[in-house]
């Protein structure tokens, strides 16, 4: 088989697909890209058995066939080429593919494409279409809050909850929770599933630059995302997602309103002096003043700052893990934020006051850290 392809176009696609390949595969075939050639097009696939992604690019060819090409070696050589046409050619009696560029020839061994695992075919799936930018935003606003605990796999992904009224995306690691809702979008029927973190991270990076719809097909076991000339099929996380609504406090009479940027910078500075194990900072609210403080007793380090704010409610003190608070503040674009609280041992709810599109709702929850008075 023989085909001619643009080096930069091929490299761009392979870099994206390479994100799926694990560094320590148990099956040697998974260290390869699958090349499936048909008239004037090349379909390239990569897989880690849980997720398979493929994209189609235009090439000059009249041949057909499939081979598995070593991913790392191919990416290394393509990274060194300026933009130019490359010719790929295999001979029937050899197990190597020859790449011809303007400056030389390079041969690398390939494997039989028939050994490569085939992507899962979804049986009787439900289908929903979402704008690529909206989906990328939904993923980036939630994925940082998902957990890494192998003992609780359901919390290591993002919960997709589609209804006939809205689309909701939720992530939590039991210390923090983010709920992102689009009331301007809806599904044909109610359904829910848990997406693993790895394929979502790849989608987030790809979809941000696209301006078209993504078609999501899903059943109880798998989900398929189709966009541009690409598709990704992945296995869903099996299990029931915790009832997140039950942990969001409904009555929160104490409301703190302040500038997000100033608050974030203060928390960042003060947290440098906090305990390296708890990362605890203390918020003390009274009238129109917020006092942020931290102390590391082991090293006699301490810091406190005062910020102007708007506060409605009883004077109170509450402790938070500064890292969780900063993660949330950094994932918002608003100028002002509100923290809704009830008691020092109940979760605080963070909400942006502006910077949202029509139909966009974000609720962030952060668990408190017990204060040692």
DSSP, residue by residue, 294-363: EEEGGGTEEEEEEEE-EEESS-EEEEEEHHHHHHHHHT---SEEEEEES-TTS-EEEEESS-PPTTEEEE
Look up the pTM and report it. Answer: 0.93
Q: Based on the structure, what is the number of domains in the chain?
A: 3
Domain end (from 68, 94, 115): 115
pLDDT tops 80 at residue 115: yes
* Residues 241 and 252 reside in one and the same domain: no
Range of the domain at 341: 248-366
Q: Which residues contact 278 (CB under 8 A, 6 or more apart)?
A: 321, 369
Q: What is the pLDDT averaged over residues 78-93?
A: 94
Domain end (from 178, 213, 245): 245
* Residues 145 and 167 reside in one and the same domain: yes
What's residue 287's pLDDT?
A: 87
* Residues 153 and 228 reside in one and the same domain: yes
Please report, rounded to a whole number, the percentage of residues in the chain having pLDDT higher than 90.
93
* Residues 39 and 101 reside in one and the same domain: yes
What's residue 83's pLDDT?
A: 97
| 120 within domain boundaries | no
Average predicted confidence (pLDDT) for the chain: 95
CATH number at residue 36: 3.10.150.10
* Residues 253 and 315 reside in one and the same domain: yes
* Residues 99 and 153 reside in one and the same domain: no
| 176 within domain boundaries | yes
* Residues 228 and 267 reside in one and the same domain: no
* Residues 315 and 346 reside in one and the same domain: yes
Q: What is the pLDDT averaged over residues 250-261?
A: 96
pLDDT tops 90 at residue 254: yes
| 238 within domain boundaries | yes
* Residues 305 and 256 reside in one and the same domain: yes
Q: What is the pLDDT of residues 173-208, one digit of tens each?
A: 999 999 999 999 999 999 999 999 999 999 999 998
Bridge partners (DSSP) of residue 158 are 195
* Residues 230 and 263 reside in one and the same domain: no
Contact 157, 145 (CB under 8 A): no
Domain end (from 179, 213, 245): 245
Is residue 373 very low, low, confident or very high in pLDDT (cuts 50, 70, 90)? low
| 310 within domain boundaries | yes
pLDDT tops 80 at residue 372: no
| 239 within domain boundaries | yes
Tokens of 17: 């697909």
| 192 within domain boundaries | yes
What strands lie across the sheet with 176-182, from one edge to the other? 191-196, 157-162, 167-172, 176-182, 360-366, 348-352, 336-341, 254-259, 310-312
What's residue 46's pLDDT?
A: 98
């Amino acid at each position: 088989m023989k085909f001619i392809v643009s080096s930069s176009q091929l490299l761009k696609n392979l870099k994206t697909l390479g994100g799926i390949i694990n560094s320590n595969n148990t099956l040697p075939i998974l260290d390869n890209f699958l090349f499936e050639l048909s008239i004037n097009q090349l379909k390239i696939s990569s897989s880690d058995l849980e997720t398979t992604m493929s994209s189609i690019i235009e090439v000059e060819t009249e041949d057909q066939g499939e081979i598995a090409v070593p991913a790392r070696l191919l990416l290394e050589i393509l990274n060194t080429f300026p933009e130019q046409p490359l010719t790929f050619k295999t001979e029937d009696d050899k197990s190597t593919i020859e790449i011809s560029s303007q400056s030389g020839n390079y041969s690398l061994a390939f494997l039989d494409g028939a050994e490569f695992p085939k992507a899962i075919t979804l049986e009787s799936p439900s289908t929903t279409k979402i704008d690529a930018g909206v989906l990328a935003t939904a993923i980036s606003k939630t994925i940082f809050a998902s957990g890494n605990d192998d003992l609780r796999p359901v919390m290591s992904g993002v919960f997709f909850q589609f209804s006939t009224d809205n689309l909701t995306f939720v992530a939590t690691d039991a210390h923090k929770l983010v709920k992102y809702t689009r009331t301007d979008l809806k599904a044909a029927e109610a359904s829910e599933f848990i997406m693993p973190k790895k394929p979502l991270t790849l989608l987030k990076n790809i979809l941000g630059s696209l301006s078209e719809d993504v078609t999501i097909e899903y059943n109880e076991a798998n989900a398929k995302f189709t966009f541009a000339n690409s598709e990704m099929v992945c296995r869903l996380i099996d299990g029931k997602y915790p009832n997140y609504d039950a942990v969001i406090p409904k009555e929160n009479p104490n409301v703190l309103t302040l500038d997000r940027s100033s608050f974030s910078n203060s928390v960042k500075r003060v947290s440098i002096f906090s305990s390296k194990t708890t990362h605890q900072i203390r918020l003390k609210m009274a009238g129109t003043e917020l006092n942020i403080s931290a102390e590391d007793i082991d090293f006699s380090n301490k810091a406190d700052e005062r910020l102007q704010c708007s506060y409605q409610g009883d004077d109170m003190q509450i402790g938070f893990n500064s890292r969780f608070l900063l993660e949330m503040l950094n994932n918002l674009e608003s100028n002002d934020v509100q923290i809704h609280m009830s008691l020092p041992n109940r979760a605080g709810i963070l909400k942006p006051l502006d910077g949202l599109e029509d139909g966009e709702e974000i609720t962030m929850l952060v668990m408190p850290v017990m204060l040692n008075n």
